[in-house]
Structure 1
Amino acid sequence: MKSVLLGFILLLKGTFQESVEELLLGKWVYVKGSYEYYDSAGKLLKESGMNAISNLDIQITKESATIIYSKDKSTTRNYAVTKGENGRHFISVSLPRGNFNYEIASITSTDLILLARQNTSFALGGDDTKQVSYCLVKIYMSKK
């Protein structure tokens, strides 16, 4: 009985992984104003409609993701869509300053949430700048 149940769970897991890869295909656009910073404890630090990401588009194929992130849509970077050992999917790139990964936290046929872990600093208001040694950036995307 246990082996039948385990086989069924593994079958469902395989189907889920395949569906994530299939759901990723297509064009995704940034949902304006939905860029959030969280600290390592999960506390929301800042919500923002940051200019640097306000025109982010992602075109995903089975082999790669092309990310268009400039205001005039002229700058693109080719990223790889990968699956980690833990089964999580990532959109990855190697930049001169190091590797950077967007984790695919949630995906449906119309919505995508990407997570990026980074070191950063930003102004919380006025001249007060808060240095954060680690933060989680949550980016909301919508299927176009």
Structure 2
Amino acid sequence: MTRKKRRLYTLLAGMGVLGVAAALVLYSFEDSLVFFHSPSDLAEKPVPAGRSFRLGGLVEEGSVEKDGVIIRFRVTDLAESVPVTYRGLVPDLFREGQGVVAEGKLDENGLFVASNVLAKHDENYMPPEVAESLRDAGHWQPEGSN
């Protein structure tokens, strides 16, 4: 084997190993990526059951039901709504009509099973994704704008 062929094979083997390593890294990132969706997004293009994502919008008025540590509510963007169930303690600022982002998965019945629920932290804050989806749907304008 000549010196040039040996270098070529070494280079090709190195590129192959690098390609496999890059593929493994990208595959591992796929499981940890969490995308944001509004209820209208889900109505237009459903997310497969079992895939993690964030659901954001407003807690629908009159939808909160508490049963011990299990809480059921609906998240709406004032055009569509999605039923949510969560087992655990919700933030103190969680209430009807307020902005919320829930992280979890849809089950096969279309129920969003949340693993984490985040509520707005003060009177002037709404999660940027929620504000954008409400603004796109034409149902929300920031305070101070006409």
Which TM bucket (shorter chain)? Answer: under 0.3
Q: Which has the higher helix share?
A: 2
Does 1 or 2 have the higher relative contact order (CA < 8 Å, sep 6+)? 1
Give the TM-score of the pair, scaled to structure 2. Answer: 0.27
Give the TM-score of the pair, scaled to structure 1. Answer: 0.27
Q: If you compute each CA radius of gyration, which structure gives the higher value, 1 or 2?
A: 2
Q: Which has the higher strand share?
A: 1
